[in-house]
Amino acid sequence: MSFIRAQRFGDNLRIFSDTKITGSEEILRGVQTNVLKVVILRPDLCVGFAGLIGPASLGIEKVDKFIGAAEVDIDRILDYFLERHIAAGEKTDFIVASLTPKSNLHKISEGRIEKDLESCWIGDHDAFSTYQQFFHQTRGFERDDLSPESAQIVNTIFRMEKAFARLVESGAHESVGQFVIEVATNPGEGFYYEAHYIGRPGPLSLRRRIEPSEEIATGRLLGEVLVPAFLCLTGRVSGRLEFTFFRENLELSSIRQNTESP
């Protein structure tokens, strides 16, 4: 099922998702236990999904081909994903985020399209309730260097990040877990994947400190952090996402998922 949360802040957007797969059919078919559920198709177009993976994957692959390099026709794209949603028996929901002609969020679920939303979510209802609880339990911080409006936005994003990470790490809901994916926007550049690390509990003897300048996989850690037994990084490269897992100082495996040619 999964859980995807999105919010608009003026012209800027933030989208959060987990990566866990729980469907027995997908796992039996050889799909790995992690999948990218928020896909940047172009710098001005991003799609997230929750529910059945097959219809979502096929739908995203085909829409990438039919829009090509043409200007985004958001109504056509929304109608297309509504068709995919209905064809899947309404068991695959979508969030469509677009920066053309302006920043907007759209949700496709329960057989209909909801347009021009300030915020939205899809997926596990109980997970959303837990996320809301964690969000309201997270305190912000003083930012005297910013205007009141900017400080509120920064604090909201901070609380979203903390609440979503806490939800994923908690294991409170069977359908939500593994890793946090965060998509954000930059003025003039479009959508990008935020760099993240998320640890799994492990013995203290397996932990080591990483210096701010040290590079791992495609991501760069900013600031000094204490790395647990496992680590996940997302590279800030449009169209490419790479997971790298570590135990002690040894790289265990990497999974690269491309949404366009490298």
* Tens digits of residue pLDDT in 109-123: 999 999 999 999 999
Q: Are residues 171 and 232 in the same domain?
A: no
Residues 18 and 131 in one domain: yes
In this prediction, residue 23 carries a pLDDT of: 63
Domain around 65: 3-186
**Is 200 found in the same domain as 101?**
no
> Quick one: which of 201, 161, 202, 156 has its CA closest to 181?
161
Contact call for residues 114 and 122 (beta carbons, < 8 A)? no
Domain count along the chain: 2
Cβ neighbours of 111 (radius 10 Å)? 9
Best CA proximity match to 185, nearest among 162, 151, 157 = 157
The CATH number covering residue 89 comes to 3.60.20.10
Q: Which residues of the chain have pLDDT under 70?
A: 23-33, 196-262
* Amino acid identity, position 110: E
User: Do 87 and 199 reside in the same domain of the chain?
Assistant: no
